[in-house]
Structures are given as C-alpha cells and as structure tokens.
Chains A and B, each alone.
Chain A
Amino acid sequence: MNHPEHPAEHIAHTVDKAEFLRQLSQFLEAGNILSAPEAMRPYDCDGMSAYQVLPWLVVLPDTIEQAQAVLRLCYQYGVPVVARGAGTGLSGGALPVANGLLLSLAKFTRILAIDPINRSACVQPGVRNLAVSEAAAPFGLYYAPDPSSQIACTLGGNVAENSGGVHCLKYGLTVHNLLALKLLTVEGELITLGGAGLDSAGYDLLAVVTGSEGLLGVIVEVTLKLLPLPETAATLLAVFADIEQAGEAVAAIIGAGLVPAGLEMMDNLAIRAAEAFVHAGYPVEAAALILCEMDGMVAQVTADLVRAQTILFANGATEVRHAQNEAERKRFWAGRKAAFPAIGRLSPDYYCMDGTIPRRRLAEVLRGIAGLSEKFGLAVANVFHAGDGNLHPLILYDANQPGDLARAEAFGSKILQLCVAAGGTITGEHGVGMEKINQMCVQFSSGELRQFHALKAAFDPRGLLNPGKAIPSLPRCAEFGALHVHHGHTPHPELDRF
C-alpha cells in the first residue's frame, strides 16, 4: 500500500547527516542513536504496517534533558520530528518521515509514583497501559481506559491518540482520565498542562493536546486518574436472529437509564470467526450477539442485570446467557477480544475501519456496508462498540490478488463517507494519522481545516512535528475533492485545483 504522501506537506531541509550526528553525539551515547538502515528497519512502520518509511535517523533518549536537547537541535536545523511510543497505533500516526528524526520514548519506562489517597499515578510516557493497573491493584485501584492493545501500548501514545477501549461508555476516553501532562514544545521547552486538582488555570490545553497525534508537542510525563476496582462485574450474552433488533435493544438499554461498563455487538461473520478461533460457545447461527457488562457495587450490579435482561428479551433476544462465574465471563469476552485475529484466520489480510455513528443510524449504515460489500466483491465482518456507536468493519481481502488491496481501500473510504453522511466521524478511537488523512477532507470544510492549521501553528509555527499527519493541507483536499464529486458538488470549491 502506498501511503498517501503529499508534496504540500513535505518539510524540506538540506542538513548534512554526518554533521547532525556529530551534534547529537555531544549529548547522546552511541547506543541512543541509530543511523544504519538495518538498525532503523524495526521503526519503519507502526501497527498500520501497510505503510513503511525508513526514517532519516532514530534517537532513543534516556532523560527529559536529552529529549529537550534533541528537539532544540531539530528546531535549530529545521529537521522534522516524529515521536513514537510502542508503535501499536493503527492509523500510521508514528510512521516516520523520510527526512525526519524518529524520537522514540521507549526508554521512559518508569512508574514515578502511585498516590493511593489522591487516586493518581504519575508515569513516564513509555509505561505500558496495563502496567499502570497492575501497579495500582495492590491499592484497590486501576486505570480505566483499556485499548485492546493494552498489554503493549504505552501511555504517551494513549494520550497522543486519545485511546478508548471497551469501557468508554461508562468510564470515558483517555481525555476523561488525565490530570496532568509534561510536554516538550517543538523548541524543547518543558511545560506542565493540568495539575494536581480537577481543573487548571487558563485554556484547557490538556484536552487540546490529548488526541493531537504528536502534532503539538512531545509528551514526557503523564499523571493519570485511578478509579476503585469494581467490587464485581457481571456479563450477559444476548442472541439475536436479526441485527436491526439487536441495534434497537442497545438503544432501549441506554434509553432505560442503564450505563453498562461495556456494550458490544458482533455480526454473524464476526461471531463465526471468533467461535472457530477461541471456542467461546458463541451461537454461530445468530445474526448478532450483544455482550452487556455491568460493574460496581454488588447490589447495584444485581439490580442493573435484572433490568438489562428484561429489556433484551423485550427487544427480540432469542436467548440471554448470564455468565455464572468468572471463567465463563472471561470466555464471553475472549471471543470479542479475539475478533480481529479471528478474522485474520479467515482471510489472508483484513483492513480495520473505525467510524463512529449515532446509534440510531446503525441499521441503515450496516445496510449500506452490506451493499458496498457486494459492489466491491469483498466480505466484511462487523464488530461494534455498540454503547458508544463506534463501528469496526473489517474488510477481508488478499494482498496477493492484484487489485484486491486497492478495492479494499476504496471500500474502506466509502464506509467512512457513509459514517460522515450519517452524522458520525471517520475515526472514533484509532486516530487519523496517515491512513485517514484524505477522509479528513470529507469531514471538514476548508475554514475548519484552516482553523486546525492555525492552532497547530500556535504550538509549532514551522510545522516540524509529525508533518503530513492528522490534518490535511488544503492543496491535498483540493485534489482529493476533485476526485470525489458528490451530487455534482465539489468539496472545497473555493480552492485551486492542482
């Protein structure tokens, strides 16, 4: 897959690499700098492995002072910088730029403090998501956002992407679970955003930086909110013969005033794939299944489960199973959590989408996706964070079949346009990165994009941080728009065509 580079987003420089390396070696050990192609190869992509670019240089500083010095040097020479955590991102946000420095935060792996009484954790950006909850567990606390990559993904990347997970409906995204950040500006200045309290003076820069995909600064320390571990968690598995009924059941649960900790839906292809892979006991004939999890105090969970079960049956569930013990509850979830690799067994390749829609438009969007599937001749499995409307259609294709990949990309692009047309967004939790840069032109007008660029320039006037990601240039949108005339209306009509 060729990643969609655009010349207008290229930051040119003519810096001599040998001289730049000499400057870096003034404050970094040889082991903190990689410049040989074979040594840099592991950094040529992130979790969006279809795009690969060898960086100009890779540096792995040990300290904030070293990272500051790296940024100052890059700023002085006009060298682009791409920050990277564990490289698990799914949208190519940490894809290197060919003439840029890749700044790995992999050595920042210390949990600096757990403060049980204030219920917070202060960690370096290279700490893994799950490691925070493990360190907090002895105090009866945990960190709520749980992206499916939580074994490997790191907090710096979670903040940069505003990561979600299956418990967002009740506990929110990363942005809802942060207290403070230490950020290095493009000039290498260390600033603190947020604070020890629940808010801070001035603009809410904590919110602006969260999800900014490495375009505004480099995160070097994160203070997280911790929550009490729930006393209990209980899960229902509801079986539906009709996917639209399943969608209505989800709406009914929310409408009845319940806020489940998790509310997930899978369609028939996803159910069959998961069952064949992990033998979770899923009903392989079902058109859809819903997993509904309640957590908290025992008495509250018991009351909520009874109501949820009644609502599920009232909305056409043919069967509702209640996990009888922790082993069964884990088995219910095992199928859902293994859905992506399970699809991977069915098909040589798959392409994961990440649109979010208002839940009430679910049936219509699923019909649209089914129609597109037929048109493009590619199968699609749907996994859905139903509670918050975040849809993950997985397009099955074979990269070895000529034309398959291009068709998968075109299909994916159409799905995202469906999501925008339904009042939703092109990305719920995976980020724009490089992958969805063109679809940004569909979701936002030129004025909105100009406002994004102005905000970017307030932090990074020369555009050195992660160029070409997240926010498309206007020339890119003019060209993309010219190719996607809709009902005779060209998006961004006021722009010159190239």
Chain B
Amino acid sequence: MIEPGCDVSVLLRERVLAAIADKTSLNIIGSSSKAFYGRPAQSEPLVVAGHRGIISYEPTELVMTARCGTRLADIEAVLADRGQMLAFEPPHFGPDATLGGTVATGLSGPRRPYTGAVRDVVLGVKLLNGHGEILKFGGEVMKNVAGFDVSRLMVGALGTLGVVLEISMKVLPRPEADTTLLFTMTPDAALVQMNRWAGQNWPLSAACFDGEVVRIRLSGAQTAIAAALQKLGGDVLPDDEATSFWADVREQRLAFFQGETSLWRLSLAPATTQPDLPGAWFIDWGGALHWLKTDQPAEAIFQTAHILGGHACRFRSPLGGEFQPLSTGLEKLHRNIKRAFDPHGIFNAGRLYEGW
C-alpha cells in the first residue's frame, strides 16, 4: 500500500536550527537501506522518512516531484500504473529504500549506460541547507539553465551539503517489450563485443558479464526486438528468469555478491580490459562498471583505478566504505563547497571523506 503524504519540513528545519545553536552534527537517515555505503556515520540521527509523499506527477510531462522520504517502491508502483519508470533502474538494497537516499548515494542500476543515471534525471530540488534555509533550485521543466546546477550537485553528495527535501525528476515510458540474450565468451572478447554492440543501433538496455557469459537486454517495440534477435543470435533467456536476473544484478543478490570479502566498485572506461588485480570480477554497464571481490589493500586498488583514468570505492566491507582519494586541487574545492552549503559542518560529517 502506498503511504499517505506528510510534510515535516518545518520540524526538520527546527532540528537543523537547533543543531546550529547547539553546535552538534546530524546524520541524515531515510530507511538506512544504504547505510553500509560510504564512510561510517558518527553523529545524531536526523530521520527524514516521515517527510514523504508524491507532490505532483504529470505523465504527459514525464515529470514527478516527491518528498525525500517517499518509498522508492511506492514511486515505482505509481509510475508503472501509467506505463512509466525511473529509467536509471535504482538499486533499493532494502524494502523501504527512499527517494532521498537514492539521490544522496547517486547509485544507478543496469540500465544506466543506455538511459542515464540518477543525476541525469534530476530536474530540481528543494534543499534545507546548513543555515536552516529552505531553498529551491532547478524546477519541473526539462531544460533550465538559470543559475548554477545545484540540484545535480546534491546527487551523490551523501547528504553532506544539506537535506534534500524534495526532488523533481524526469521519468520515461516503459519499453513495450524486453528480451535477454546469452552469449558464452572469454573476458577479452566479452568487453570488445559489448562495446561494439553499444556503438551500433541495437536497442540495448543492459549488458553484463559474469566471467563466462555475456547477458544483454534489448528493450523497445516487439518488431524492433524481433529484428535485432534475428541478426544478433545468442540464446534467449525466458522472460521470468530474465526479470529476476536483472533485479538480482541491481540488488546484488547474485551469488557473486555474497560473502564477507570486501566488494569494490571500479568505474572505468567501458572497453578497459580487466585490471591486473587478484580477486573475483563481475562486469556491468557494458564494461563501464567492474565489481571486484578482493582482500587487496585499498592503496593498490585506488592506484590501479587512477592509472586507468577512473575511480574506485570500497562498496561493501567489514572495514567500512572508502572513496577514491581526491587530488589536492579537487579536495580544496570540495572543502570550499561544503563550507558554502554547510558552514557549521552540521550534515553527515565524514560520510564522504575524513575530516569534513
């Protein structure tokens, strides 16, 4: 059942003003489904799950606005009713995952390389900043270049710049049909083949490689998929198995993702050959996202990702999360930006990087 809406922005603002006065810091929490992600929180919880509800949804505008505490599952159900979807296929990592947490972590699922990420669909936000001010940036229109793009800056900021109270985002129509194909390949051949396909006109909506088998998902009109099937070959995965497979990739329920070994996320140029690091690999995003299970030291992994022009993060681990170190110039900019939004250092201190 979809929960009724509720606006508690006044209360949240009071909590922030009190934190400013008391010089305390707050740790913003939705449902804690992604609490494992990022560096551990140290401060007082500020629960925002009560600030919930879809504020507006106009299918013919492809735009929805919802409060941060709205359950992702509720949003997806409302969109599905009108034949639409969140095209970035967000991972939930828990039954009560919220929209706010999705934006704060900036994580996107298998469809990301083909239809864009969370940051690509965010059109506007209402923000509670570190002065306790409620401010609006962006809007509900597709094209808007008035003022700096503060809305997209919030995506992936892990709540360090303020409480994102409301989010307006672009939604997309669900494809008429999906089909998943299987191809057995070597790792080198898989990376080349996935990228060749991506450079052609196939209606791709996902492509992953588990070390032995490439699975690609095609989405679009029935006739287009039929035409693609004829030319691509491969084995068709039955629809129900395909649906649960991609959900398991998105939610990290595959056997690969289980166990206590640290799970690393490496974001690289899509045709990058498998990096020279010992461990087990799973490749998503047509090659642009490498999952690595390894007990290698963090420095070695960060160094490898840096040399390859990408970045890494320790995604799930008993050691906690850790992000790729920033260059000196970038770190200074990050600290300046943090101060610009949260001069008293109230929000999510240390969640992204140590010291701020």
B340 and A458 contacting across the interface, CB-CB below 8 Å:
yes
* Partner among A199, A299, A451 whose Cβ is within 8 Å of the Cβ of B223: A299
Q: How many residues of chain A have a CB within 8 Å of chain B? A: 98
A448 and B147 contacting across the interface, CB-CB below 8 Å:
yes
A140 and B200 contacting across the interface, CB-CB below 8 Å:
yes
With A297-B224, A451-B135 known as contacts, the answer to whether A196 contacts B269 (CB < 8 A) is: yes
With A189-B329, A210-B149 known as contacts, the answer to whether A259 contacts B267 (CB < 8 A) is: no
Binds A, one of B14-22, B180-188, B330-338: B330-338
Binds A, one of B27-35, B110-118, B245-253, B293-301: B110-118
Answer whether residue A452 sits at the interface, using C-beta atoms and an 8 A cutoff.
yes
B199 and A228 contacting across the interface, CB-CB below 8 Å:
yes
Q: A292-308: contact bitstring with B at CB < 8 Å (1 yes, 0 no)?
A: 00001111101110000
**Chain B nearest CB, measured from A478 CB (Å):** 18
**Chain B nearest CB, measured from A442 CB (Å):** 10
**Chain A nearest CB, measured from B272 CB (Å):** 8
- B residues near A191, Cβ cutoff 8 Å: 327, 329-330, 333
* Partner among A198, A231, A452 whose Cβ is within 8 Å of the Cβ of B113: A198
With A359-B60, A454-B341 known as contacts, the answer to whether A428 contacts B199 (CB < 8 A) is: no
Nearest residue in A to B269 (C-beta to C-beta)? A196
Q: A215-246: contact bitstring with B at CB < 8 Å (1 yes, 0 no)?
A: 11000000000001011000000000000000
Answer whether residue B258 sits at the interface, using C-beta atoms and an 8 A cutoff.
no
- A residues near B341, Cβ cutoff 8 Å: 451, 454-455
A119 and B144 contacting across the interface, CB-CB below 8 Å:
no
B120 and A389 contacting across the interface, CB-CB below 8 Å:
no
* Partner among B147, B157, B198 whose Cβ is within 8 Å of the Cβ of A452: B147
Binds A, one of B5-13, B47-55, B209-217, B307-315: B307-315
B311 and A197 contacting across the interface, CB-CB below 8 Å:
yes
B268 and A197 contacting across the interface, CB-CB below 8 Å:
yes
A425 and B221 contacting across the interface, CB-CB below 8 Å:
no
Q: B242-272: contact bitstring with A at CB < 8 Å (1 yes, 0 no)?
A: 0000000000000000000000001111111
A303 to B225, CA, bound (A): 11
A390 and B143 contacting across the interface, CB-CB below 8 Å:
yes
B148 and A455 contacting across the interface, CB-CB below 8 Å:
yes
A9 to B318, CA, bound (A): 52
A303 and B224 contacting across the interface, CB-CB below 8 Å:
yes
Answer whether residue B350 sits at the interface, using C-beta atoms and an 8 A cutoff.
no
A141 to B155, CA, bound (A): 29
B143 and A201 contacting across the interface, CB-CB below 8 Å:
no
A198 and B156 contacting across the interface, CB-CB below 8 Å:
no
Q: B26-47: contact bitstring with A at CB < 8 Å (1 yes, 0 no)?
A: 0000000000000000000000
- A residues near B147, Cβ cutoff 8 Å: 432, 440, 443-444, 448, 452, 470-471
**Chain B nearest CB, measured from A133 CB (Å):** 15
Answer whether residue B202 sits at the interface, using C-beta atoms and an 8 A cutoff.
yes
Binds B, one of A33-41, A168-176, A483-491: A168-176
A445 to B149, CA, bound (A): 16
A457 to B226, CA, bound (A): 55
Scan residues 164-195 of chain A and give those whose CB is less than 8 A from a CB of chain B: 164, 168-169, 172-173, 175-176, 185, 189-193, 195
Scan residues 250-267 of chain A and give those whose CB is less than 8 A from a CB of chain B: 251-252, 254-259
Answer whether residue A403 sits at the interface, using C-beta atoms and an 8 A cutoff.
no
Q: How many residues of chain B have a CB within 8 Å of chain A? A: 91
B267 and A198 contacting across the interface, CB-CB below 8 Å:
yes
Answer whether residue B145 sits at the interface, using C-beta atoms and an 8 A cutoff.
yes
A447 and B135 contacting across the interface, CB-CB below 8 Å:
yes
**Chain B nearest CB, measured from A181 CB (Å):** 12
A358 and B333 contacting across the interface, CB-CB below 8 Å:
no
- A residues near B222, Cβ cutoff 8 Å: 303
- B residues near A358, Cβ cutoff 8 Å: 58, 61, 63, 140-141
Answer whether residue B77 sits at the interface, using C-beta atoms and an 8 A cutoff.
no
**Chain A nearest CB, measured from B347 CB (Å):** 13
Nearest residue in B to A198 (C-beta to C-beta)? B288
* Partner among A139, A251, A356, A390 whose Cβ is within 8 Å of the Cβ of B60: A251
Answer whether residue B83 sits at the interface, using C-beta atoms and an 8 A cutoff.
yes
Nearest residue in B to A139 (C-beta to C-beta)? B199
**Chain A nearest CB, measured from B217 CB (Å):** 15
Scan residues 79-126 of chain B and give those whose CB is less than 8 A from a CB of chain A: 83-84, 106, 112-113, 116-117, 119-120
A205 to B149, CA, bound (A): 10
- B residues near A251, Cβ cutoff 8 Å: 60-61
A259 to B175, CA, bound (A): 11
- B residues near A455, Cβ cutoff 8 Å: 148, 150, 153, 337, 340-341
- A residues near B152, Cβ cutoff 8 Å: 175, 204, 207-208
With A197-B267, A257-B83, A297-B224 known as contacts, the answer to whether A204 contacts B155 (CB < 8 A) is: yes
Answer whether residue A118 sits at the interface, using C-beta atoms and an 8 A cutoff.
yes
A443 to B147, CA, bound (A): 10
Q: Which of B135, B198, B201, B325 is packed against the most chain A CB atoms within 10 Å?
A: B201
**Chain B nearest CB, measured from A431 CB (Å):** 5
Answer whether residue B59 sits at the interface, using C-beta atoms and an 8 A cutoff.
yes
Instruction: Taking A200-B311, A202-B330, A228-B200 as given, write out 20 further A-B residue pairs in contact, using a Cβ cutoff of 8 Å, ordered by the A residue number.
Output: A115-B269, A117-B196, A140-B199, A169-B142, A193-B330, A198-B112, A198-B117, A207-B155, A230-B201, A251-B60, A254-B62, A257-B83, A259-B172, A299-B227, A360-B58, A360-B61, A426-B146, A436-B146, A448-B135, A451-B340
Residues in A lying within 8 Å of B, measured CB to CB? 115-120, 139-141, 161-162, 164, 168-169, 172-173, 175-176, 185, 189-193, 195-205, 207-208, 210-212, 215-216, 228, 230-231, 251-252, 254-259, 296-300, 302-304, 356-360, 385, 387-390, 423-432, 436, 440, 443-445, 447-448, 451-452, 454-459, 470-471
Offer 7 A-B interface pairs, CB within 8 angstroms, sorted by A.
A197-B288, A201-B313, A203-B157, A205-B330, A230-B201, A251-B60, A389-B61
Closest 7 CB pairs between A and B?
A257-B173, A196-B309, A197-B267, A207-B152, A458-B336, A300-B224, A428-B143
